[in-house]
Every structure is written in structure tokens, then in C-alpha cells.
């Protein structure tokens, strides 16, 4: 028991040091890129006020924000405020950055979890079908479909789905996470799922192809193995072999690949949220970039890196718990 606790502590410390180092590097790179870009946060702040100000007032704002200070001093000042929990105030929304990230992250997390589950189920099921019917017409059609969807841009597929299912058929709303004109507290779960369905389906179809093709190849290797040939010689049918021998051998690699695709889903959600006007982190960072909202842009960038790092750490830990061989190697 003590040895297991010690290994867990060492594992968490190792991943914690990696996450802190990576976040520090991301913060430096993001700050340097924002500082080198033509973004003028002071001008955006003045435009948001809606009134003209004198050059003296602009100079006071620049002095208060430390715009004319050296970049190293500005970075250290921003980092010290960040460590104290002050993420800054959004120049676009006139609200604390931490509050905006908290609200938008809940919407993005719901979208990514739905798309993640859909992509895993669809990819694994289609991979098993392709493996069973390998080199036949179902396998040929599904492989071409996987190659096609994996090469189609997310925004183009989203626009196509909007045109077909929202404009022509009217099955889904055009955008947003809730009906227009309905108070936030009055939105039902069914309405939220109705608005979430089309973005989640779009995002899931962009990431299931790798899981399907990987599962297909693994299942073909299993079906060509000696113990499966022996099972067939005993009279077991195709679906019996798949249930008894195939699924348990291809499930773990599929789960591993599914966890590895979570970071890819996070990147794809940025495009999906902008296409469907979904109020998540992706649309927030796009609005921050277009409107020169530096505090929100830096905050979302750093939080996104933290989210992806923590997700990868959890995936590695869960992989060790699911696979006994990994636990023995760790010991």
C-alpha cells in the first residue's frame, strides 16, 4: 500500500512539474506574440468607451496599464497578478476575464464531451464493421467515407450542416446555446441539447475517422491470429468470434486513441463554435483576437493549455489503470 501511494505521489509530482513548465513556456510565447502583434489594447478600450478622449487622458491610460514599460517588466507584472488570481478585465465585455472563462468553459466542455462520446462510439462501431467485412463493399464505402470526412475542414462541414438541417429542413436551430429571448434560468435541458446537437455531431464527425481506421486494422490483425483461426475451426461464427475475442483485444487501443484525440477536439471546437455562434471558449478567443482584447486573449490561451495538459495527464493515468501490463511496467 505504501509503495502504491509513493508511486502515485511521484507520478503526480512529475506531471505537475511538466504542466507548470509548459504553462510558463506558453505564457512567455503568448505574451511575446501579443506584444509583437499590431494589437492596440488602449485603442480598443477607448473605442469601447464610446466617447472621445484627449491625448492627456490617453497618456494616463497608457501609464496606468504600463504600455510604455519594457516588455520584461510588463510580463512580470502580468504574471504576478495572474498568480494572485487576477486574470485582468476584458476590454470587450467589461468583465473579469476569470468570470468569462468560467462561463464559456462550461459550454465548451459540454460540446466537447458530447462530441468526444459520439466520435468514440461511432468510430469504434464503424471500425468493427469495416474489420468484419474487410475487402468487401461495406469496408470500401466506409473507408472512403472516413478518408473524406478526415480531409474536410470543420467550418465547411458545419456550414453545410447548417444549410441542410437548419435552413432547409428546420430540424435544428441556426446557432447559440439557447433559444433567443428566453431567460438563462428558464432554458430547459431539452432546449440546451437541441442547440448542442448539431455542433456536437459536426465536431464528432471530424475526429471519428482515426479511431475507425485504427480499430479496423487492429481487428483485422486479431481475426487473422492463430487463436481466432482455432476458434473458427471449432465452429464459432463471425459474430461470436468478434464478441469473445475481437472486442476485448481492440477496445483498449481504441480507448487510448480516443483519449489522445481530446486535444484535437479542443482545437476543432474553436471553428465549430464560430460557425454555429456557440458561446464557448472558441468564440471568445476569436472575438478577443478580432477586437484586440489582450487580457481575454492571454487568459483563454493559458487556460486552454492548462486544460489540454490536465486532460493528457488524466488520460495517461487512466491508461495505466485500465491496462494491467502498463501497471506492471510502471512497477
Which element (helix H / strand E) includes 222?
Answer: helix 208-223
Instruction: Answer left, alpha or beta for residue 188, where phi above 0 means left and psi between -120 and 50 means alpha.
Output: beta
pLDDT at 329: 46
89 close to 95: Cβ distance less than 8 angstroms: yes
Most confident of the ranges 105-114, 234-243, 308-317, 319-328? 105-114
Statement: residue 85 has pLDDT above 60:
yes
CA gap 264, 119 in Å, rounded = 12
112 close to 198: Cβ distance less than 8 angstroms: no
CA gap 258, 158 in Å, rounded = 22
pLDDT at 297: 87
pLDDT at 213: 85
CA gap 201, 9 in Å, rounded = 39
195 close to 173: Cβ distance less than 8 angstroms: yes
Measure Cα distances from 293 to 84, 297, 311 in Å: 21, 6, 27
Backbone φ and ψ for 234, nearest 5 degrees, come out as: -80, -5
282 close to 270: Cβ distance less than 8 angstroms: yes
CA gap 103, 9 in Å, rounded = 32
Sequence-distant (6+) residues with CB within 8 A of 285 are 270, 296, 297, 300, 301, 304
pLDDT at 1: 46
CA gap 56, 60 in Å, rounded = 6
Q: Give pLDDT tens digits for 123-152.
A: 888 888 888 888 888 888 988 888 888 888
Mean per-residue pLDDT, 72-92: 85
Percent of the chain scoring above 90 in pLDDT: 2
pLDDT at 321: 62
Rg of the Cα trace of the chain? 25
Mapped onto helix, strand or coil, the DSSP state of residue 96 is: strand
CA gap 110, 167 in Å, rounded = 24
Q: Which pLDDT band, with edges at 50, 70 and 90, does 53 fall under?
A: confident
Which residue, 106, 104, 108, is CA-closest to 269? 108
Domain boundaries, the chain: 2-83, 100-290
Mean per-residue pLDDT, 17-22: 86
Statement: residue 206 has pLDDT above 80:
no
| C-alpha cell of residue 140 | 470500401
pLDDT at 6: 65
Q: Which residues pair with 89 in a beta bridge?
A: 96
- CATH tag, 100-290: 1.10.3720.10
Which residue, 280, 271, 287, is CA-closest to 107? 280
Provide DSSP, 177-195. SS-TT--GGG--HHHHHHH
Q: Which pLDDT band, with edges at 50, 70 and 90, does 278 fall under?
A: confident
CA gap 242, 125 in Å, rounded = 12
CA gap 187, 191 in Å, rounded = 6
pTM reported for the whole predicted model: 0.79
Residue 149: count other Cβ atoms within 10 Å of its Cβ.
Answer: 15
CA gap 82, 110 in Å, rounded = 26
Amino acid at each position: 500500500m505504501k509503495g502504491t501511494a509513493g508511486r502515485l505521489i511521484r507520478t503526480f509530482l512529475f506531471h505537475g512539474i511538466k504542466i507548470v513548465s509548459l504553462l510558463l513556456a506558453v505564457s512567455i510565447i503568448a505574451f511575446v506574440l501579443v506584444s509583437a502583434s499590431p494589437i492596440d489594447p488602449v485603442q480598443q478600450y477607448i473605442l469601447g468607451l464610446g466617447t472621445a478622449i484627449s491625448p492627456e487622458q490617453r497618456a494616463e491610460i497608457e501609464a496606468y496599464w504600463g504600455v510604455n514599460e519594457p516588455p520584461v517588466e510588463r510580463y512580470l507584472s502580468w504574471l504576478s497578478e495572474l498568480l494572485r488570481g487576477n486574470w485582468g478585465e476584458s476590454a470587450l465585455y467589461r468583465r473579469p476575464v476569470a468570470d468569462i472563462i468560467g462561463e464559456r468553459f462550461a459550454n465548451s466542455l459540454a460540446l466537447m464531451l458530447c462530441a468526444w462520446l459520439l466520435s468514440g462510439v461511432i468510430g469504434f462501431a464503424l471500425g468493427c464493421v469495416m474489420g468484419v467485412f474487410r475487402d468487401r463493399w461495406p469496408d470500401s464505402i466506409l473507408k472512403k467515407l472516413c478518408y473524406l470526412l478526415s480531409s474536410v475542414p470543420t467550418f465547411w462541414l458545419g456550414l453545410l450542416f447548417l444549410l441542410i438541417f437548419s435552413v432547409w429542413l428546420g430540424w435544428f436551430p441556426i446557432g447559440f446555446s439557447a433559444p433567443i429571448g428566453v431567460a438563462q434560468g428558464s432554458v430547459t435541458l431539452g432546449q440546451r441539447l437541441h442547440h448542442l446537437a448539431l455542433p456536437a455531431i459536426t465536431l464528432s464527425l471530424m475526429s471519428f475517422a482515426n479511431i475507425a481506421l485504427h480499430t479496423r486494422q487492429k481487428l483485422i490483425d486479431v481475426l487473422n491470429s492463430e487463436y481466432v483461426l482455432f476458434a473458427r475451426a471449432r465452429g464459432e461464427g463471425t459474430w461470436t468470434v468478434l464478441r469473445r475475442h475481437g472486442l476485448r483485444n481492440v477496445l483498449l487501443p481504441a480507448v487510448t486513441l480516443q483519449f489522445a484525440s481530446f486535444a484535437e477536439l479542443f482545437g476543432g471546437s474553436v471553428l465549430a463554435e464560430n460557425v454555429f455562434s456557440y458561446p464557448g471558449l472558441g468564440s471568445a478567443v476569436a472575438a478577443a483576437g478580432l477586437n484586440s482584447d489582450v487580457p481575454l486573449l492571454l487568459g483563454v490561451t493559458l487556460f486552454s493549455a492548462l486544460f489540454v495538459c490536465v486532460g493528457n495527464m488524466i488520460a495517461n493515468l487512466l491508461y495505466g489503470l485500465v491496462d494491467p501490463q502498463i501497471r506492471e511496467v510502471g512497477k
